[in-house]
């Protein structure tokens, strides 16, 4: 672990604000600290180890002492998912041509609507986004797809290389930095505890029972701003160079056909994972459901206690918000440009400014001490000056 002061002394000078809002990096997410918390039981059963599918975890779930976001000392579960789905097939993502059908293509979701990312969708982009510059195919109808490691890494970055704008972006394990699945460890309270106010996670939202991390919203504005489509497969996942394969939406691997497989709109759905406060996450309800949910898409039932429902896929945010306290994860706090011991750098805000996820930002820094901003910038495909500006730190 290293403090922010060490970061300053070894690498650069930081302008200290007159007043700093106390922040806490918890499990890869940034939350505002609040003294106004209500340490009452959420009536949620918490994590049940047997709900995880065989092979989804890299090791058995363990318990450890932990501190919650209100300072409460308690016991938490350490959960590490494998980073590869054990029960679903990855891909396809981009269509090969303008005549490719939905059956051989993935999906695209932009926060408002979900589309079959087929050939027709590629041709309709200029109409959908009201911009005649959209053309991701050549005169023969072949779609411009990132079909090499160089192309993938040149496009799946905050500042897309000029050669790979106007492309449909897809990747494979072999083109990621590790060339294999990336395990993710999270810390959640054994007993979910109610917070006084709900909060919206800004980093990882949780994990799935089939071995994946539930990521924060994909940076749609940055993707579209480069005239790219970072296609998802029908399961709502896609690759990036640092995080590997990860989930941004839940579709039951039915893509835009998800609701057609729900016979009873008010039927209970199945558990798909756990949020960062230890509360179970269930598959989305039908849009025609009459079931009343709270502000975090949750409700309490006699059988399952309090639990959330994933938002519909087009929202680009699986877990809308959490009602419980989260755990301060010392492992997560070590994985980035800011850490305990001084004023925290707002890595969530910095990541947003760069058009990437907080996970990607922390992965770029790794555990090198002192932090190497030049190397991190290179991994992210930006200049060091751009990275320092995003972090709110004056250039050297």
Between 326 and 332, the more confident residue is 326
Q: Is the predicted pLDDT of residue 14 greater than 50, yes or no?
A: no
pLDDT category at 35 given cuts 50, 70, 90 is very low
212 pLDDT higher than 80: yes
Q: Which pLDDT score, from 0 to 100, does residue 360 have? A: 82
CB 81 within 8 A of CB 207: yes
Asked whether the predicted pLDDT for residue 207 surpasses 70, the reply is yes
Mean pLDDT of 251-257: 96
Highest mean pLDDT among 19-28, 296-305, 324-333, 375-384: 296-305
- Mean pLDDT lowest among 69-78, 81-90, 244-253, 347-356: 347-356
Higher pLDDT, 334 or 199: 199
Mean pLDDT value of segment 61-78: 95
Model confidence at 79: pLDDT above 50: yes
Mean pLDDT value across residues 174-196: 95
pLDDT-derived band at 352 (thresholds 50, 70, 90) equals confident
pLDDT at residue 374 in the model: 85
pLDDT tier, 47 (very low <50, low <70, confident <90, very high otherwise)? very high
Please state the rounded mean pLDDT for residues 5-20.
33
- The per-residue pLDDT for range 81-125, each reduced to its tens digit, is 999 999 999 999 999 999 999 999 999 999 999 999 999 999 999
pLDDT at residue 31 tops 50: no
Q: Which residues of 198-214 are buried (b: 16+ CB within 10 A; e: fewer)?
A: bbebbbbbbbbbbbbbb
Give the mean pLDDT of the chain: 85
Question: What pLDDT sits at residue 9?
Answer: 37
- Please give the pLDDT value at position 314: 98
Please report the pLDDT score of residue 7 as a whole number: 37
Q: What pLDDT score does 272 carry?
A: 99
196-210: average pLDDT:
89
Average confidence (pLDDT) over 355-378:
74
What's the pLDDT at 90? 98
Q: How confident is the model at residue 182 (pLDDT cuts 50, 70, 90)?
A: very high
């Amino acid at each position: 672990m290293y403090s922010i002061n060490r970061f300053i002394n070894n690498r650069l000078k930081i302008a200290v604000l007159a007043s700093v809002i106390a922040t806490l990096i918890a499990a890869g997410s940034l939350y505002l600290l609040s003294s106004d918390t209500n340490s009452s039981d959420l009536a949620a059963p918490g994590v049940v180890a047997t709900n995880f599918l065989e092979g989804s975890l890299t090791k058995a779930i363990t318990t450890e002492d932990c501190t919650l976001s209100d300072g409460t000392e308690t016991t938490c579960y350490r959960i590490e998912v494998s980073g590869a789905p054990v029960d679903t097939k990855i891909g396809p993502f981009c269509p090969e041509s303008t005549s490719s059908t939905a059956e051989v293509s993935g999906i695209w979701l932009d926060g408002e609507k979900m589309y079959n990312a087929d050939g027709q969708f590629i041709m309709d982009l200029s109409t959908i986004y009201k911009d005649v510059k959209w053309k991701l195919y050549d005169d023969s109808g072949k779609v411009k797809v990132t079909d090499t490691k160089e192309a993938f890494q040149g496009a799946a970055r905050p500042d897309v290389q000029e050669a790979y704008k106007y492309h449909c972006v897809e990747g494979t394990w072999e083109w990621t930095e590790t060339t294999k699945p990336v395990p993710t460890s999270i810390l959640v309270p054994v007993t979910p505890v109610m917070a006084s106010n709900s909060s919206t996670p800004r980093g990882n939202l949780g994990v799935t029972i089939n071995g994946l991390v539930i990521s924060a919203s994909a940076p749609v504005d940055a993707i579209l701003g480069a005239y790219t489509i970072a296609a998802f497969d029908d399961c709502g996942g896609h690759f990036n160079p640092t995080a590997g394969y990860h989930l941004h939406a839940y579709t039951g691997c039915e893509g835009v056909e998800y609701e057609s497989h729900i016979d009873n709109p008010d039927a209970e759905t199945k558990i798909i994972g756990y949020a960062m406060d230890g509360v179970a996450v269930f598959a989305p309800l039908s849009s025609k459901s009459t079931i009343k949910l709270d502000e975090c898409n949750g409700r309490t039932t006699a059988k399952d206690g309090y639990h959330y429902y994933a938002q519909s896929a087009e929202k680009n945010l699986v877990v809308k918000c959490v009602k419980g306290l989260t755990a301060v994860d010392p492992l997560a706090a070590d994985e980035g440009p800011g850490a305990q011991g001084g004023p925290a750098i707002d890595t969530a805000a910095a990541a947003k400014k760069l058009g990437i996820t907080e996970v990607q930002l922390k992965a770029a820094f790794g555990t090198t001490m002192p932090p190497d901003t030049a190397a991190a910038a290179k991994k992210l495909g930006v200049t060091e000056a751009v990275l320092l500006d995003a972090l709110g730190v004056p250039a050297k």
